[in-house]
Structure 1
Amino acid sequence: MFIPKLYKSEDLNLMKDIIRENAFALLISSEEKIRATHSMMILNEEDRENIYIETHVSKANPQAKILKNGSEVLCDFLGAHTYISSSWYDHINVSTWNYEAVQIYGKVELMDHEELYLHLDKLTTQYETSQRCPLMLKDMGNAFVEREMHGAFGMKIIPTEIFIQQKLSQNRKENDFRNIIANLEGGDENAKQIAGKMKLLQK
């Protein structure tokens, strides 16, 4: 990912927030041909010095048929993003887009049966806990879970390169910066999120 110096971040906490809030991300690989699959991703932080990503796709997915231990993949996370109109500046310029994004290159380690079960249990717990009548893996019956697991291809992705981008109009002068925030606050949820993040830069 090309990141101009002004927008590049080294903040790993920002990276973690973007991943947690935008966990349905793209898994990209280029063995034989370029392939991309949207999949649920979890950041495993049990060892804070060696964090990695967990995910799974269907075994029927052509991407699963070529990935193996050591394969290089790219995980692409797009955070909050919104259009920035040039009409909000006090001078003629181009319109643009403000956004947060994380890209992680990594090596694949295939999950064994136990790791896949723990991954699915963790994923289910994360999203079922807030439901009115949560249905956890343990409630589904071993036979059903085992049958479904036969169709899942689980993998850990060990990071080799991490890129964090936070493009929030840092190149604009103070008056334009304030005006962008004011316009975004009247927009949709993404626009309001970006406005809030821009305000944090002012502190």
Structure 2
Amino acid sequence: MFIPKIYKSEDEELMKEIISENAFALLISDKEKLSATHSMFLVNENEGNFYLETHLSKANFQAEVLKDGDEVLCDFLGANSYISSSWYDHKNVSTWNYEAVQIRGKVKLMNDDELYEHLRKLTFKYEKPQKCPMFVENMGDEYVRKEMKGAFGINIIPNEIHIVSKLSQNRDEKNTENIIQNLSETNDSGALKIAEKMMKYLKITKQNI
């Protein structure tokens, strides 16, 4: 991932936020052929070691070829929005503000117990806010383990982490405020999220002056 220095972030909490809020992301591999699968990811930390969890259908080509130690790329796109050049007080080009994370790492295949725990945590995350949540514990161990036979679970141990937060850091205060105002007047959730993050960035910048 190419990231201009001005937009590069080292904020691990931002990374976790982007992954957690945009967990349906791309798992990319080039084992035998270039392949990509949209799949659900979880962030995990074990004794300070950060890694990702996901699973695929065993019928998926990636599930057939990926082995321990193979390299994959995980791509997470966070909040993003078009930025019109008409919002500037001078002639310039339009652009796109966005936040994203790319993680390159090594595959470690899950055993059955790890896959069970992965599915339990994943189900809990998305069932918890439901009116009548159906947790793995409610399904019965026998049923869950039967369904698990069609799943291929992997952990991804990172060796490269790239975080980008492009929030018009190259614009002066007046133009930044113009962008925020225009984004805030839309009904687009991505635009509103970017506006919120830009306001936070602008506030921090003013405090540091």
- Interval of TM-score (by shorter of Structure 1 and Structure 2): over 0.9
Measured against aligned partners, the alpha-carbon deviations of 1:133-186 in whole angstroms (never above 9, x if no partner) come to: 111112112232122100000000000000000001111122111100000001
In 2, the alpha carbon distance for the partners of 1:46 and 1:136 equals 23
In 2, the alpha carbon distance for the partners of 1:92 and 1:64 equals 50
In 2, the alpha carbon distance for the partners of 1:65 and 1:130 equals 34
The equivalent residue for 2:5 is 5
Q: 5+ residue gaps in structure 1? A: none
In 2, the alpha carbon distance for the partners of 1:145 and 1:201 equals 45
Please tell me the residue identity of whatever aligns with 1:120. L
How much does 1:31 deviate?
1.0
The equivalent residue for 1:90 is 89
Structure 2 residue matching 1:51: 3-state secondary structure: strand
The equivalent residue for 1:149 is 148
Structure 2 residue matching 1:45: 3-state secondary structure: strand
The equivalent residue for 2:169 is 170
The equivalent residue for 2:116 is 117
In 1, the alpha carbon distance for the partners of 2:199 and 2:43 equals 27
**Match runs of 1:1-203 below 5 Å:** 1-47=1-47, 49-187=48-186, 188-203=188-203
Structure 1 residue matching 2:69: 3-state secondary structure: coil
Measured against aligned partners, the alpha-carbon deviations of 1:39-85 in whole angstroms (never above 9, x if no partner) come to: 000000232x2110000000000111110000100010000000000
In 2, the alpha carbon distance for the partners of 1:72 and 1:169 equals 33
Structure 1 residue matching 2:147: 3-state secondary structure: helix
Deviates more, 1:107-116 or 1:171-180: 171-180
In 2, the alpha carbon distance for the partners of 1:201 and 1:141 equals 47
In 2, the alpha carbon distance for the partners of 1:174 and 1:16 equals 28
User: Normalising by the residue count of structure 2, what TM-score does the alignment of the two structures yield?
Assistant: 0.95
In 2, the alpha carbon distance for the partners of 1:142 and 1:125 equals 15
Percent of aligned pairs with the same amino acid: 64
In 1, the alpha carbon distance for the partners of 2:198 and 2:55 equals 34
Q: 5+ residue gaps in structure 2? A: 204-209
Runs of 4+ in 1 over 3 A off after TM superposition: none
User: Number of paired residues?
Assistant: 202
In 2, the alpha carbon distance for the partners of 1:61 and 1:100 equals 29
Please tell me the residue identity of whatever aligns with 2:46. E
Please tell me the residue identity of whatever aligns with 2:14. L
Give the CA RMSD over aligned residues.
0.8
